Amino acid sequence: MIKYSITFLLLLACFISYCQERILLRDINSGANSEYEITNIWHDGSPLEDAKIDGVIYVKRNGKFYKRLFSGSINVRWFGAKGNNIADDATAINKALKYLQSSRKKKYAPFYNNTTKESLTTTLFFPNGVYKVKSSLKIPSFITLQGESREGTILVTTSRDMNLLDITAQNELKEFENYTYSYTNISNLTLAGPHFNINPFAWKFEPGSQKGGCGILFSKNVRLKLDTVRITGFEKAGFFSDYSAYIFLNNVQIDNNTCGILAQNSTTTINARDCVLQVNSVGIHLENSFSNTFINCIIETNIANFLSLPKIGEEGLMYSKAGQGVFLQGSYNNSFRSCYIEDNIISVSLINAKNNTFEGCLFCPNNDYSSKNGFANTQWLSFFNTGNSGNRFVNSTFVTVDEKVYPSKKVDIKSSDYGSDNIIFSSDINDFLNLITANDNWKVIFKQNEKNAPILINEGTGDIFRNLKRMKAIEKQFSSSQFYK
């Protein structure tokens, strides 16, 4: 009997000690009950003090410090975000981001506390809801924003000149320079600007008065992953990369923006797969950027009225107009593979572009829309200036919405000295011949400046146009009774 009494007393003492070590509190923001455990150490291993109490992860009761018990992500609702499309949730979201930022300092080896042997979360979870944001969210590098679903989790702003997510590196890249496998991750949510759910073909403001807001600004930074994200309704760009690298976009939809993807200032290694760039004014604009890859992407109907569409005679101003699928300006070694580039006024525009490759793509400009509305004639390819060289169009298909309205093989060249060694390769002899005959302005180029004329290569028959050193093909009406090199 004495033995059992002692055992009972020991168990009772352990239970009392456990109750003193843990408390159950009702979360005033989410309404859920949360368990807290007594502690005297902050998550960076330093002593806990009153100044570090945030009332969310750390609380103080009866002179003792407690830490919230959770595993995995932290919930933005804990910090006061409502997600009701009424309250401004920016303050609550930034409070949560501040906690995550303090959780991944270099001094405790990223995302792990050597003092407490505790894994540190870097994920902020957004339950379904519409989170109104009136000021830019400064996103620390190498943390994760995760929504419950792309359709149900929406971060929205009505500000025309605000970057909704600003991921500009400060000094943190130096802190994390040795952690090559750390990424900033954003997944399963929608980023919505002031033109969210507004007809993309209706005028939104006076031409030229658009502001500088972006869905995501990724500036002077590295290592970003977007997965199952929608970005819509912004007046500068959906996604804007400035002097950044190692960017992975998977299953991302970017629609109803002035520009879908804008990359400038030596942005490199964008890798976009299975993405949709639709009803923007410009689908993709790469300026002074290199070695970016787009695979199996849909680049379609980019004629939204953020910019004006070109009228007949304004084709030379296309670089400042809507209607462009892909616009490469001073950019090189970029690759587009198996992309569906349809229903734009100009499928591809080149200015001082070098060594870019389009392979296995479909080009289908919308000549029907253009002809009915008095806009400029469509082209699947436009060379705007000198300096375009080494660009390759390989085994792609060229069609239009209505062949009777305008020939589908239109390549527009604005200068007889547009560049050199640009190659259009086709394995289909009929497609190859149509390409030549449909471009009347090539006659002048071949006659006056054959050195810089397009290189047209066909390897479908084995007995025509075969010259691996340099191939020129000229339709017989140019000046000869037969094709010649």
Which residue do the tokens 């009772």 mark? Answer: 12
For 88-147, the pLDDT digits (tens) are 999 999 999 998 888 765 433 444 444 444 445 689 999 999 999 999 999 998 899 999
Backbone angles phi, psi at 153, to 5 degrees: -105, 110
* Residue 468 clears pLDDT 50, i.e. is over it: no
Residue 251, token pair as written in the block: 């299953």
The phi, psi pair for 478, rounded to 5°, reads: -65, -50
**Residue-level pLDDT at 16:** 44
Average pLDDT over residues 164-170: 90
pLDDT surpasses 60 at 472? no
Q: Where are the domains of the chain?
A: 1-69, 71-479
Q: What is the CATH number of domain 71-479?
A: 2.160.20
Task: Write the burial class of residue 190 (CB in 10 Å: 0-12 exposed, 13-18 middle, 19+ buried).
Answer: buried
Q: How confident is the model at residue 436 (pLDDT cuts 50, 70, 90)?
A: low
pLDDT confidence of residue 236: 93
Q: For 57-61, 105-109, 346-350, 358-362, which range has the lowest pLDDT when averaged over its residues? A: 105-109
52-65 tens-digit pLDDT: 888 888 998 888 99
- Helix H, strand E, coil C: the string for the chain is CHHHHHHHHHHHHHHHHHHHHEEEEECCCCCCEEEEEECCECCCCCECCHHHCCCCCEEEECCEEEEECCCCCEEHHHHCCCCEEEEECHHHHHHHHHHHHHCCCHHHCCCEECCCCEECCCEEEECCEEEECCCCEECCCCCEEEECCCCCEEEECCCCCCCCEEEECCCHHHHCCCCCCCCEEEEEEEEECCCCCCCCCCCCCCCCCCCCCEEEEEECCEEEEEEEEEEECCCCEEEEEECCEEEEEECCEEECCCEEEEEECCCEEEEEECCEEECCCEEEEEECCECCEEECCEEECCCCCCCCCCECCCHHHHHHCCCEEEEEECCECCEEECCEEECCCEEEEEECCECCEEECCEEECCHHHHHHCCECCCEEEEECCCCEECCEEECCEECCCCCCCCCCCCEEECCCCCEECCEEEECCHHHHHHHHHCCCHHHHHHHHCHHHCCEEEECCCCCCCCCCCCCCCCCHHHHCCCCCC
CB atoms within 10 A of CB 9: 10
Q: Which two tokens stand for residue 401?
A: 């919405």
236-260 average pLDDT score:
96
Q: Which residue has the higher pLDDT, 297 or 378?
A: 297
Q: What is the pLDDT of residue 396?
A: 79
CA distance 369 to 377: 10
Best-predicted range by mean pLDDT (7-16, 166-175, 476-485): 166-175
pLDDT in the model for residue 259? 95
Pick the more confident residue, 473 or 128: 128
- Would you say residue 354 has pLDDT above 80? yes
Give me the pLDDT at residue 190, please: 98
User: How many other C-beta atoms are found inside a 10 Å radius of the C-beta of residue 32?
Assistant: 11
Confidence of residue 256 (pLDDT cuts 50, 70, 90): very high
